[in-house]
Amino acid sequence: MTGFRQKLAIASQATQSLLCVGLDPDPNLMAVPDIVDFNRAIVDATKDLVCAYKPNMAFYEAQGSAGIIALEATVAYIRDQAPDVIVLGDGKRGDIGSSNTQYAKAMFDTWGFDAATFNGYAGVEALGPFIDYEDKGIIIWCRSSNEGALELQDQALGSSGKRLFEHVAESAVRWDRNTNIGLVVGATYPKDLARVRQIAPEMPILLPGVGAQQGQLRESILAGIDPAGRNLIVSSSRGITYASKEPATFERAARAAADDLRQLVNTILDEAGKPWRPIST
């Protein structure tokens, strides 16, 4: 059985990319009206440039049953066209008891995601149904990219002064009995990202906030990569998928935006002495 970290390493090496494209279909922004047609075009334009795609569940659920059908079709298309690319379901699921058992079944058995985002607020016992999927990635929300994150995630715990997000990262390391846990840390807080990487030196980190949220890319890449320069999933959604809203140009614009970001990240890796190995032929 191939574990999530190995799948991610294979996907990243195959395209020499840390880039993840978020598939967040917004009818008010899409260049074409049909979600499946739009997503297929984005996948066709970028599949050789990315290590992962990240459908955000909210955008599909907002469209009701039609959105769920579109999500199914999107995942199936990625599997057919880019079978080695990671498909990451971004729903930040989390509850307790039997609810989590069903959430895990939905994300991993029904939808077939390689990884999914989760809320760890209820603790390790509640996360058990997710962690027990040994070959799936359990990406725990740790330090979000929004400005309001400071309100709770920066709060000090007791006399130690340890902040809540640091405690979440430390807990995730303890919970990682199947080597399948990762963390979500926003690119808008690179110093906090560096602290999380210090706590969890080998864990995959999903890095949102790149692009539309104007994260500090260079500092965040250097802070977030593991010692080998990998295990970072650099996520951009609107900056790529909505690079153009014109039906005649949106595919080319998406590819150009994805390629620009991939090359920028790879330049940072090169400068840090962490270049990609040549792809054997």
* Catalytic residue ranges: 92
Beta strands 156-157 and 162-163, pairing class: antiparallel
Are 94 and 119 in contact by the 8 Å Cβ rule? The answer is yes
Give the closest residue to 39 by CA, choosing from 23, 56, 51: 23
Give the closest residue to 22 by CA, choosing from 208, 237, 191: 237
Q: CA 107 to CA 113: how far, in whole Å?
A: 6
**Using CA of residue 262, residue 265, residue 271, residue 274, what is the dihedral sign?**
negative
**Using CA of residue 116, residue 132, residue 169, residue 265, what is the dihedral sign?**
negative
Which class for 80: exposed (0-12), middle (13-18), buried (19 or more C-beta within 10 A)? exposed
H or E, element range at 185: strand 181-185
What is the token pair recorded at 3?
């574990």
